[in-house]
Structure 1
Amino acid sequence: MTGSRPMSSRNSLWVLGLAAIVAAGAFAAWEPGAPALRKTVGVAAAGPPQPPRPQAEERKPIIRMDEERIALAKIEQTKAGPATIATRLSVPAVIAPDADRVAHVSVKLSGTVAELRKNIGDEIAKGAVLGALESREVADAKSEFMAARLSNDLQQDLTARDKSLWEGRAVPEQQYIKSRNAAAQTAMRLDIARQKLLALGIEESEIASISHAPEGALRLQNIRAPISGQVVERKVERGAAVGRDSLETELFVIIDLSRVWVEMTVNSSDLPAVREGQEVAVSVRGGSSVGTGKVIFVSPLLDKETRASRVVATLDNPDRLWRPGSFVTAAIAVESRQVPVVVPATAVQTVDGRKVVFVRMSEGFEKRDVVLGGRDDGMVEVTSGLAAGETIASSNTFPLKAELSKPGDED
């Protein structure tokens, strides 16, 4: 064409590309079922905005149980609350008799065992008659006492008469003074005879009844128990000679085991933390028996070989469960602190590697993850996950743990 500038090859290519894009868009609009072109040519089409997908609600793991099922499973319940947790020092120990509750019954004279009323294993009360000795020494002492008492009674009567006569001016004062001195001497001899009987082991009640006792009983002396307890040794038989001249003097050994000692061995490095009055938890090795005692003695001396010290605690033993000679473990409470939430150790279970407790709810029990702290005497501190006052399953919690593995129980 005259006067027109020929089209460059670069412009020709741009025009052809644009035409191809327009043609493709027209074809897409004509094709049945194709989405309409909503954007400028050359921009990808976007669908309608989608609403945010709701997150799944966190479901609490509830084990549904009514009161009847709880009773059948024997699940005990308790409230979590504050308590004192102690830091304890565990040391080896042995049970020993309380030295104040051991009695060796011995004789203080020469004689022959005439009667034995108690045997090994018998439980006896203080003052009970264990047996009787036949002794010439006892007979002589009783006879001397009876003579001294008779002489004193007579002299006291004479002194009372002389006093009455002297007051009535019937006898001189010198006679009354002489009679009064004689009465003092007879009273002194009576007291000496009485003290001799007491030294031989005869009690006041027996002394008072000597004059009324049968003649054959004068040579007998009853052997009485000085304490209540159990006869653990009987060292003589009936007819045995006992007393002085290298003869057996010990007849019985009695032990009261209602309270025992716990003898502990504490290393010198641990001694600064141990003091009298501290609480001691005592447990049998390999057993379930647990008792609580109190430290009464910390020896200031160290053993030359072990460099350890002897520590003694008292332990009540009303049921005779703690036998002398038993090896035990003693845990001394060297430090204690008050914590807000404590539960029985039996209430804690492990589920999927986490420590949990089961909290009582209206429809059953809720599994609750908890963080534990210190432990002491069957109790454990809960530092988080549980509040004071909440009721939990405290024992027989294995059925609750088993219920978690059943499908649908946490719905």
Structure 2
Amino acid sequence: MNKNIFYALLIAFAGVALAVWLLLDTPRHDEDGHHDHDEAAGPAIEKGPHGGRLLRDGDFALEITLFEQGVPPEFHLYAYQAGKPVDPNDVSARIELSRLDGQVDSFSFQPRDDYLRGDGVVTEPHSFDVGVTATYQGERHAWHYENYEGRVRIATDIAAASGIETERAGPASIRETLRLTGRIRTDPNRLSQVRARFPGVVQQVRRELGERVRHGDVLAQIQSNESLQSYQLTAPIDGVIVERDVQVGETTAAAPLFVIADLSRVWAELDVFNEDIGRVRRGQPVRLETLGGHGVEGRIDWLSPMAVHASQSVAARVIIDNPDIDFRPGQFVRGRVTLAEHEVPLAVRKSAIQAFRDFQVVFARIDDTYEVRMLEAGRQDRDWVEVLGGLKPGTEYVTENSFLIKADIEKSGASHDH
């Protein structure tokens, strides 16, 4: 079997296997959009007068709300005894949030108006096992429940077959770049116009347009008008014949008979417009690409002291080694100039980022469970995004096919839109 066909069938099989697995493993979720793949579906969540989760223990009840109107998310608690509000000064409470990666966030509470206010921010994602304790009139009450969002389980073999890849978040180099366009030019120092040494008649033409020649190769044979002796016209450099203006029987004049270009090294001249002239300097690294996809690294070698009248642009020259003639004079090229390079302590691959609710996120992997991580992003380039918050250094995160995880979370209703 053809190798390409085999791989195509293997990928198709993996996709079908993942779809079947997701169908059979459709998660159960509560009315808040939190879901879990393992636990049996429980009773519907009881809501309190303020729209929060109501926890009961005998005649005592505690309503937990997550308040985030104009402030970072914080817990507000409302206490009730036999269905009637309780003075928050008579209640002490504590909440512990156990997260997937083992982190535990603890919150104490202080009375405020008719509720108890938590002493910290409930950071994203709001996905954790919740432990609540409250003491009222000397009696202690305790509850535990699950509050998951943006979380899904995928078996290791299914993830591998589906092309889900991960790596650990860590430091990276972020490049500040400027995009420019231009075209390829022949290096004038590698261009030779070959003329007849003496006026005469062309007796023989040995080389054709487009042929490669080496220094000393015979291009034509000419009979001198004065001596009537024949002499050979030879190539003064290695290169390619890019112009030929000679025919047997013609009389030579001062015009070039051949033009030879050595294209093993060419120039890229990029157009730098007025608003960017102050940012571009000699020596800056440049990534050049043709419209056909050929790429090469170089550096700015020279900035023209003259501006083009019509566009007011300035030419920035990049010298390119071109042994395989991937860059041809006259071709348009795109250039990405590196203006500055910043080493950052934590970054993720740009290809890993997905949109989730109002956030840019990646998906952390812990064993066979994947969970959303909301990013506070900083500087970025074509490959990397700096992470200022929302992800711990060393976290294993999905770099390839993260859209599969996002799709399953959205399918299950586990996005929990606040």
The TM tier, using the shorter chain, reads 0.5 to 0.7
Which consecutive residues of structure 1, in runs of 5 or more, have no partner in the other structure? Answer: 1-44, 141-217
User: Could you tell me whether the CA contact under 8 Å between 1:85 and 1:376 is conserved in 2?
Assistant: yes
- TM-superposed deviation, 1:354: 1.9
Taking a change above 3 Å as real, the CA distance of residues 75 and 52 of structure 1, as seen in their structure-2 partners, is closer
Q: Structure 2: how far apart are the matches of 1:390 and 1:301?
A: 51
Matched, 1:133 2:221: yes
User: Could you tell me whether the CA contact under 8 Å between 1:259 and 1:317 is conserved in 2?
Assistant: yes
SS at match of 1:404: helix
Match of 1:384 in 2: 389
- TM-superposed deviation, 1:283: 4.7
Matched, 1:363 2:368: yes
User: Could you tell me whether the CA contact under 8 Å between 1:120 and 1:231 is conserved in 2?
Assistant: yes
Q: Deviations over 1:163-183 (max 9, x none)?
A: xxxxxxxxxxxxxxxxxxxxx
SS at match of 2:189: helix
- TM-superposed deviation, 1:397: 3.3
User: Could you tell me whether the CA contact under 8 Å between 1:64 and 1:409 is conserved in 2?
Assistant: no
- TM-superposed deviation, 1:356: 1.8
Q: Deviations over 1:167-224 (max 9, x none)?
A: xxxxxxxxxxxxxxxxxxxxxxxxxxxxxxxxxxxxxxxxxxxxxxxxxxx8341522
Match of 1:394 in 2: 399
Matched, 1:281 2:371: no
- TM-superposed deviation, 1:58: 4.3
**Residue correspondence of structure 1 range 88-103 to structure 2 within 5 A:** 88-103=177-192
Paired AA for residue 368 in structure 1: R
Q: Structure 1: how far apart are the matches of 2:412 and 2:141?
A: 32
User: Could you tell me whether the CA contact under 8 Å between 1:139 and 1:220 is conserved in 2?
Assistant: no
Paired AA for residue 223 in structure 2: S
Q: Structure 2: how far apart are the matches of 1:82 and 1:134?
A: 68
Q: Structure 1: how far apart are the matches of 2:332 and 2:150?
A: 48
Match of 2:235 in 1: 224
Matched, 1:272 2:362: no
User: Could you tell me whether the CA contact under 8 Å between 2:192 and 2:259 is conserved in 1?
Assistant: yes
Match of 2:102 in 1: none
Match of 1:344 in 2: 349
Taking a change above 3 Å as real, the CA distance of residues 308 and 401 of structure 1, as seen in their structure-2 partners, is same
Q: Structure 2: how far apart are the matches of 1:65 and 1:130?
A: 71
Paired AA for residue 121 in structure 1: G
Q: Structure 1: how far apart are the matches of 2:208 and 2:347?
A: 50
- TM-superposed deviation, 1:296: 0.9
Match of 1:237 in 2: 247
User: Could you tell me whether the CA contact under 8 Å between 2:181 and 2:333 is conserved in 1?
Assistant: yes
Taking a change above 3 Å as real, the CA distance of residues 50 and 383 of structure 1, as seen in their structure-2 partners, is closer
Taking a change above 3 Å as real, the CA distance of residues 235 and 95 of structure 1, as seen in their structure-2 partners, is same
Q: 1:121 aligns with which of 210, 233, 239?
A: 210
Q: Which has the larger radius of gyration?
A: 1
Taking a change above 3 Å as real, the CA distance of residues 315 and 394 of structure 1, as seen in their structure-2 partners, is farther
Paired AA for residue 210 in structure 2: G
Q: Deviations over 1:309-340 (max 9, x none)?
A: 33222344455444433344433322322112
Q: 1:263 aligns with which of 263, 266, 269?
A: 269
Paired AA for residue 220 in structure 2: A
More divergent stretch after superposition (370-379 vs 48-57): 48-57
The percent of aligned pairs where both chains have the same amino acid is 29
Taking a change above 3 Å as real, the CA distance of residues 63 and 54 of structure 1, as seen in their structure-2 partners, is closer
**Residue correspondence of structure 1 range 145-156 to structure 2 within 5 A:** none
Paired AA for residue 277 in structure 1: G
- TM-superposed deviation, 1:388: 4.9
Q: Structure 2: how far apart are the matches of 1:132 and 1:389?
A: 69
Q: Structure 1: how far apart are the matches of 2:187 and 2:166?
A: 39
User: Could you tell me whether the CA contact under 8 Å between 1:63 and 1:409 is conserved in 2?
Assistant: no
Paired AA for residue 398 in structure 1: F
SS at match of 2:247: coil
User: Could you tell me whether the CA contact under 8 Å between 2:207 and 2:220 is conserved in 1?
Assistant: no
Match of 1:212 in 2: none
Matched, 1:254 2:260: yes
Q: Structure 2: how far apart are the matches of 1:98 and 1:390?
A: 50
Q: Structure 2: how far apart are the matches of 1:88 and 1:253?
A: 38
Taking a change above 3 Å as real, the CA distance of residues 50 and 74 of structure 1, as seen in their structure-2 partners, is closer
User: Could you tell me whether the CA contact under 8 Å between 1:63 and 1:403 is conserved in 2?
Assistant: no
SS at match of 1:272: helix
Higher relative contact order (CA 8 A, sep 6+): 1
Q: 2:198 aligns with which of 84, 109, 119?
A: 109
Paired AA for residue 372 in structure 1: A
User: Could you tell me whether the CA contact under 8 Å between 1:114 and 1:131 is conserved in 2?
Assistant: no
SS at match of 1:271: helix
Give the structure with the higher percent strand.
2
Kindly report the root-mean-square deviation, in angstroms, between the aligned alpha carbons of the 2 structures: 3.8
TM-score scaled to structure 2, two decimals?
Answer: 0.55
Q: Structure 1: how far apart are the matches of 2:258 and 2:166?
A: 51
More divergent stretch after superposition (272-281 vs 357-366): 357-366
SS at match of 2:405: helix
Paired AA for residue 61 in structure 1: R
**Residue correspondence of structure 1 range 159-198 to structure 2 within 5 A:** none
**Residue correspondence of structure 1 range 202-221 to structure 2 within 5 A:** 219-221=230-232
Paired AA for residue 115 in structure 1: Q
- TM-superposed deviation, 1:278: 0.8
**Residue correspondence of structure 1 range 20-99 to structure 2 within 5 A:** 51-58=141-148, 61-67=151-157, 69-70=159-160, 72-99=161-188
More divergent stretch after superposition (230-239 vs 316-325): 316-325
TM-score scaled to structure 1, two decimals?
Answer: 0.56
Q: Structure 2: how far apart are the matches of 1:382 and 1:250?
A: 61
